Amino acid sequence: MIGIAVSATTNGALDRLERLVKQYPDEVQEGAYDVLVDAGNALIDRQLVQNPAPFTGRRDWQSERQRRAYFATGGFGRGIPSTRTGEINDAWELGFDVQRSSITVTLFNVSDHYRFVVGSLRMDGPDTQQRMHKQGGWKPVAPIIDAALPSFRASVLRRIRIIPKDFV
């Protein structure tokens, strides 16, 4: 599994949250988790889920070997022409690690073949998106994630600053 992690320094917001956790452990834990889940799911739903129109036309194969393998395996086991299952879109997941002064949110896709369809999750990762999927309208996700990170961080920090006010 390949993932991308985002960390943010919270300038004391988590210190306040930590004090609240001791005073209201169940409520704050639920509130903090909800903040992270909401922000992460918004990123996934609004920017990473893709549904390009079905491709018609001549495929631009990565190699002759890939073309032969596709036909020899019956569309890599999906039939010819292969049909979309929604697996890539349904396989986005979030992982969370909350520390004293930082939050690390890990975004990953548990599909075995996402990297061939939407490419690497990291800007500094290898370009694994296959030409046929680019040709078919699938956008590489690394630039989308990279562009979304500042607003994701800001959204989480805004919501964390609001949580203490709910308990005061």
pLDDT in tens, 128-139: 999 999 999 999
Tell me which residue range forms the domain holding 117: 3-53+88-167
Task: Please give the pLDDT value at position 40.
Answer: 84
Number of independent structural domains in the chain: 1
Indicate whether 76 belongs to any domain. no
3-class SS of residue 89:
helix
Q: Is the pLDDT of residue 70 over 50?
A: yes
Q: Which residue has the tokens 């590489």?
A: 140
Task: Please give the pLDDT value at position 128.
Answer: 93
Greater pLDDT, 73 or 82:
73
Indicate whether 35 belongs to any domain. yes
Indicate whether 81 belongs to any domain. no
Percent of the chain with pLDDT over 70: 71
Indicate whether 17 belongs to any domain. yes
Q: Is the pLDDT of residue 82 over 70?
A: yes
Task: Please give the pLDDT value at position 84.
Answer: 84
Indicate whether 65 belongs to any domain. no
Task: Please give the pLDDT value at position 117.
Answer: 94
Indicate whether 10 belongs to any domain. yes
| 81: preceding bond cis by omega (within 30 degrees) | yes
Indicate whether 79 belongs to any domain. no
Per-residue buried b or exposed e for 99-130, using 16+ beta carbons within 10 Å of the residue's own CB = eeeebebbbbbebeebbbbbbbbeeeeeebbb
Q: Amino acid identity, residue 68?
A: R
Indicate whether 41 belongs to any domain. yes
Greater pLDDT, 28 or 76:
76
Whole-Å CA distances, 56 to 81, 87, 90: 10, 21, 24
